[in-house]
């Protein structure tokens, strides 16, 4: 049973650079859904990043953070730009996003790699390897070697230096990200690959132990294991073998960028970051395109809005269980591409280049046709 608008509190944070331009196209889809009574949302808008700094001297105010914490989902554009590069570290636009991730305890980062038929030739791999690709990488986002202690660079008695970082994972940290992965697999093809380096790292052995235990609660999902180096190789050799990959922060960072390139363009890649589920099953969640604020094209109205529109579709699917509505949006994107509409980032040399608004127009037209 679909929720009413009052139960779907969404905080929209367009951010800087192309953020407001691409988010503008998402808002047109939201308005269309509302007008056609497909789905409604209780939307609030806020500032984040450089625009928040300009308005209030901080990249994320406490009031905006509180709004995010009490929302069902945050829809985020992008932050950053040359104007704010010389600010002290703690006032940099990106600190706004990092604070949101930390305070909302978003520990599972979802990066889908989907190849749309019309863009199969944009991939670095041969068409037959990637056509129809649809995989999801779930990266643990708040633990592991990026946060583990001891860390630092120390000087040894002989005057030479030693750099140290530590991979640390508790059972609880492993379990919660694996459960998020198993839940996702249930909404997809029911296959989950746990990726680690259990052949050389004890923490990897613990990941496997926990995965086997948790898998007992998901008998409908097939669990397999793979070493991270092999996974990198398999992603470029035969990526269609994967459904959901769950892995640590470090391996996920690398493997998700590798998978992203299978799809060809940064302007097409959505992502989600999920937190823990509360007693009612509600998870904190933030949805955002993978790309940044693209200062080189900001203000020109030529950015590709599809990654942001696809992030909205992920929100429909994973925060609000609106699978049909998510399909509607994803199909409209598919049809837009099939109709040959291309912004500069995905245009071939002979293609006419659409503006952000023109691409949004066609997505809306396709939604009209299908709704």
CA dist 237 and 179 (Å) reads 28
Pick the catalytic residue: 42, 146, 227, 327?
Answer: 146
- Alpha-carbon Rg for the chain in angstroms: 21
Segment contacting ligand NAD by CB under 6 A, of 4-12, 29-37, 106-114, 299-307: 299-307
Query: Is position 72 annotated as part of the catalytic site?
Result: no
Is 292 among the residues that bind ligand NAD (CB under 6 A)?
yes
Pick the catalytic residue: 187, 257, 300, 351?
Answer: 257
Is 345 among the residues that bind ligand NAD (CB under 6 A)?
yes
Query: Is position 345 annotated as part of the catalytic site?
Result: no
Query: Is position 229 annotated as part of the catalytic site?
Result: yes
Is 72 among the residues that bind ligand NAD (CB under 6 A)?
no
User: In terms of Cα–Cα distance, which of 134, 144, 156, 108 is closest to 273?
Assistant: 108
User: Which of 14, 46, 59, 81 is close enough to bind ligand NAD by CB under 6 A?
Assistant: 81
Query: Is position 134 annotated as part of the catalytic site?
Result: no
Residue 299, Cα to own-chain centre: how many angstroms?
24
Is 293 among the residues that bind ligand NAD (CB under 6 A)?
yes
Segment contacting ligand NAD by CB under 6 A, of 64-72, 120-128, 291-299, 347-355: 291-299
Segment contacting ligand NAD by CB under 6 A, of 142-150, 296-304, 322-330, 357-365: 296-304
Cα torsion for 346, 273, 292, 353, to the nearest 10°? Answer: 20
Query: Is position 257 annotated as part of the catalytic site?
Result: yes
User: In terms of Cα–Cα distance, which of 247, 139, 157, 241 is closest to 198?
Assistant: 247
Looking at the Cβ atoms of 202 and 296, the one nearer to ligand NAD is 296
| Structure-block tokens of residue 105 | 């305890």
Is 79 among the residues that bind ligand NAD (CB under 6 A)?
yes
Q: How far apart are CB 272 and ligand NAD at their closest, in Å?
A: 13
Is 266 among the residues that bind ligand NAD (CB under 6 A)?
yes
Is 97 among the residues that bind ligand NAD (CB under 6 A)?
yes
Segment contacting ligand NAD by CB under 6 A, of 23-31, 75-83, 100-108, 180-188: 75-83
Is 175 among the residues that bind ligand NAD (CB under 6 A)?
no
User: In terms of Cα–Cα distance, which of 312, 307, 333, 270 is closest to 73?
Assistant: 312
Contact indicator for 266, 111 with CB cutoff of 8 Å: no
Is 80 among the residues that bind ligand NAD (CB under 6 A)?
yes
- Which residues of this chain interact with ligand NAD, rule CB under 6 A? 18, 22, 78-81, 94, 97, 266-267, 288, 291-297, 303-304, 307, 343, 345
Q: What amino acid positions are annotated as catalytic residues?
A: 146, 197, 229, 253, 257
């Amino acid at each position: 049973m679909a929720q009413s608008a009052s139960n779907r509190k969404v905080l929209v944070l367009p951010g800087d650079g192309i953020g407001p331009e691409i988010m503008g196209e998402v808002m047109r889809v939201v308005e269309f859904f509302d007008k056609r009574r497909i789905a409604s949302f209780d939307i609030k808008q806020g500032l984040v990043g450089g625009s928040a700094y300009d308005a209030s001297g901080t990249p994320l105010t406490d009031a905006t953070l509180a709004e995010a914490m009490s929302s069902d989902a945050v829809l985020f554009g992008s932050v950053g730009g040359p104007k704010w590069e010389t600010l002290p570290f703690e006032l940099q636009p990106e600190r706004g996003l990092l604070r949101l991730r930390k305070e909302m305890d978003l520990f599972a980062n979802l990066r889908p790699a989907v190849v749309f038929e019309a863009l199969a030739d944009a991939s670095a791999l041969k068409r037959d390897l990637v056509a129809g690709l649809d995989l999801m990488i779930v990266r643990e986002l708040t633990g592991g070697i990026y946060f583990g202690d001891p860390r630092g660079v120390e000087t040894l008695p002989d005057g030479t230096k030693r750099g140290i970082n530590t991979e640390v994972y508790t059972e609880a940290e492993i379990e919660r990200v694996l459960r998020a992965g198993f839940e996702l697999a249930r909404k997809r093809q029911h296959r989950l690959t746990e990726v680690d380096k259990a052949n050389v790292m004890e923490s990897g052995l613990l990941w496997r132990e926990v995965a086997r235990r948790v898998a007992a609660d998901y008998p409908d999902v097939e669990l397999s294991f793979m070493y991270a180096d092999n996974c990198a190789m398999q992603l470029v050799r035969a990526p269609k073998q994967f459904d959901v990959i769950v892995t640590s922060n470090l391996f996920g960072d690398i493997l998700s960028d590798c998978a992203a390139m299978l799809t060809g363009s940064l302007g097409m890649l959505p992502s989600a970051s999920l937190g823990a589920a509360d007693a009612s099953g509600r998870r904190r969640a933030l949805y955002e395109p993978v790309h940044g604020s693209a200062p080189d094209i900001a203000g020109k109205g030529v950015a590709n809005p599809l990654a942001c529109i696809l992030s909205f579709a992920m929100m429909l699917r994973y925060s609000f269980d609106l699978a049909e509505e998510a399909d509607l949006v994803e199909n409209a994107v598919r049809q837009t591409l099939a109709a040959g509409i291309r912004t500069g980032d995905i245009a071939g040399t002979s293609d006419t280049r659409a503006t952000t608004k023109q691409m949004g127009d066609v997505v809306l037209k396709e939604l009209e046709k299908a709704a």
